[in-house]
Structure 1
Amino acid sequence: MKPADSLNVKRENTLIITETALASVALIGLNQLWYADYPKSKFHFKNDNVEWLQMDKAGHFYSSYQLGRLGAEMMQWSGATQKKQLLYGAGMGFAFLTAVEVLDGFSSEWGASAGDIVANASGTALYVSQELIWNEQRMVPKFSFHTTHYAKYRPTVLGSSLAEQLLKDYNGQTYWLSINLHSFYKKSKIPKWLNLAIGYGAEGMISGNAANEDLFSAPKTESFRQLYLSFDVDLTKIETQSHFLKTVFTVFNTLKIPAPAIEFQQFNRIKAHFIYY
């Protein structure tokens, strides 16, 4: 949809009401589906920074950035000023995920995580800082996923279906920072759409804490971190006059395209992938 040239009050009001309603429904639904089966407690924090080799923190960083980007672009659609886009739009991701942390804090099963809050703030800060410094997004967090054999050993935690594994199986998730090369070297002949992507992943995890691995009936595994180098495409840099295509490109620009990659494993092993996703 084409952004308004100046503030469109009707669009802005529609946007505020819609976002508030969707966020409320999401939090209520999450409370019923995720927290209702566990007893409540006094608000408390839990230090989970060592769990899942920080893959969950990467997920918070990615989610906060992408929700904030969506909020800012929707505010732009309404014709709001840059200040409103960054304050109310980009802050949407941090506000929503902080509300989720509050739900965690009142659940005896979990607890609010200071590490999650820092990751949420960092994702929002990445979007806002780039808009203020460059007035464009030169570095974009992205996501890719592949199924793994680890989920079958603990499907209740890692997911029993593809949809669940997409969200829960950290072994198959990779979080990327996709860097647009042309934006840093505007006088070069580098294609505007070509990105260099740096990815982070981890593998060998049956539980959040390696010390608990022996509690599950699974082959003994050793968890390790992975660093990836690959190329990517910034779909928003593909020139088109179609506002529909621009919207489609923006949506799919949250995902890293499958491409050749080099994997550097924690144990000093290097692996080449013809196509990695």
Structure 2
Amino acid sequence: MRHRIIFYLLPLLLCLPQLSMAQAPVDTSSVNKKRLLVLGSTFTAGYATMLVTLNKAWYTDERTNFHWFNDNHEWKQMDKAGHFWSAFHQSRAGIDMLRWAGLPEKKAVLYGGLTGILLQTPIEIFDGYQADYGASVGDLVANTVGAAAVTAQELAWQEVRIMPKFSFQTTNYARMRPNVLGSNLGERALKDYNGQTYWLSVNVSSFLKEESKYPKWLNIAAGYGAQEMVYNDPEANAAAGLEAYRQYYLSPDLNLMHFKGKSKVWNTALYVLSIIKIPAPALEYNRKDGVKLHPLYF
């Protein structure tokens, strides 16, 4: 599927002012109708505008009848990890913004948890009318699982204890196919799956007793990536001297939300940055090289 990071982060981009205020405790005894109106109108107008823009500017290829396309075997499922990550954080933002609007806790979690699905599904429908590809069941599943993951944590623990994160580093593979993997740094960060790593950062201290001396700021993150992916077709990859393989990582990470303070701007910055994995030492395992240590991994 195509890369649309702007839609992955849409709730954060549209509602930064609301997110800055959502970091402080709010009274959920009654709905704040003014806040709910501001939130709903901002979100609806922004998303509708961007969908119209996307439909006109991005989907300019030949259109056909709606159809499905099975891309589950492509890119070692890195794109599915991206869908999971994006839907999780869209729903996370949706939950927190509904809390800010004063909805009762359970309703904020359940309704806000649908945000990732609501945002991603129309884009998948657009894909279904494209001749060169189509709507992907795998993408829809990944979106649903991502949204469900944050909803389940909020219902079970009233907080996020396992945070999906993203990191990126440049690779030489993009030069081999810049029209697909990106011709500049910004494009490569979005398109070059070889340089992307998706993480699950576990807040270990939240699973321990309150009197535990384990540092509350120290998380442990498990990562997933893949290399040597220039073509989807294994034969085309092999002709270029490449054989795609998976990578698995283990690394310490910072629990950025532990450092919240009184400043709304500071707290919002931490909230947004918490979707990114902080560079740190990492252990990697892959079938080609076995186990190796990265003194600093991005």
The interval holding the TM-score normalised by the smaller chain is over 0.9
Q: How many residues of Structure 1 are paired with residues of Structure 2 in the alignment?
A: 273
TM-fit CA distance, 1:82: 2.0
Aligned partner of 2:216 among 192, 205, 228? 192
Contact 1:52 1:209 in 2 (8 A): no
Say yes or no: does 1:261 pair with 2:282.
yes
Amino acid at match of 1:185: L
Say yes or no: does 1:2 pair with 2:27.
no
* Matched residue, 2:203: 180
TM-fit CA distance, 1:268: 5.6
Aligned partner of 1:158 among 147, 159, 181? 181
Say yes or no: does 1:65 pair with 2:88.
yes
Say yes or no: does 1:43 pair with 2:66.
yes
Instruction: Tell which deviates more after alignment, 144-153 or 78-87.
Output: 78-87
* Matched residue, 1:273: 294
TM-fit CA distance, 1:164: 0.8
Contact 2:260 2:266 in 1 (8 A): no
Contact 1:131 1:137 in 2 (8 A): yes
* Matched residue, 2:170: 147
* Matched residue, 2:228: 204
* Matched residue, 1:170: 193
Amino acid at match of 2:283: I
Contact 1:226 1:263 in 2 (8 A): yes
TM-fit CA distance, 1:66: 0.8
Contact 2:237 2:243 in 1 (8 A): no
Structure 1: runs of 5 or more not aligned: none
Deviations 1:246-273 (A, max 9, x none): 1111110000000000010133611210
Determine helix, strand or coil for the equivalent of 1:2: helix
Rounded Cα–Cα distance in structure 2 between residues aligned with 1:239 and 1:69: 17
Distance change >3 Å, CA 166–CA 179, structure 1 → 2: same
Say yes or no: does 1:22 pair with 2:46.
yes
Amino acid at match of 2:267: K
TM-fit CA distance, 1:30: 2.1
Instruction: Tell which deviates more after alignment, 267-276 or 42-51.
Output: 267-276
TM-fit CA distance, 1:214: 5.7
TM-fit CA distance, 1:151: 0.6
Instruction: Tell which deviates more after alignment, 7-16 or 80-89.
Output: 80-89
TM-fit CA distance, 1:207: 1.7
Contact 1:72 1:85 in 2 (8 A): yes
Determine helix, strand or coil for the equivalent of 1:35: coil
TM-fit CA distance, 1:204: 0.2
Rounded Cα–Cα distance in structure 2 between residues aligned with 1:93 and 1:149: 33
Rounded Cα–Cα distance in structure 1 between residues aligned with 2:229 and 2:182: 13
Rounded Cα–Cα distance in structure 2 between residues aligned with 1:222 and 1:43: 34
Contact 2:106 2:155 in 1 (8 A): no
TM-fit CA distance, 1:239: 4.2
* Matched residue, 1:133: 156
Amino acid at match of 1:267: K
* Matched residue, 1:226: 247
* Root-mean-square deviation over aligned CA pairs: 1.5
TM-fit CA distance, 1:245: 1.6
TM-fit CA distance, 1:179: 0.3
TM-fit CA distance, 1:88: 2.9
Amino acid at match of 1:223: A
Contact 1:50 1:209 in 2 (8 A): no
Distance change >3 Å, CA 193–CA 111, structure 1 → 2: same
Determine helix, strand or coil for the equivalent of 2:134: coil
Aligned partner of 1:242 among 254, 263, 269? 263
Rounded Cα–Cα distance in structure 2 between residues aligned with 1:155 and 1:20: 35
Amino acid at match of 1:30: L
Deviations 1:193-241 (A, max 9, x none): 11000000001000223233267xxx41111100000010111112422
Aligned partner of 1:11 among 29, 35, 43? 35
Rounded Cα–Cα distance in structure 1 between residues aligned with 2:38 and 2:128: 32
Contact 1:179 1:195 in 2 (8 A): yes
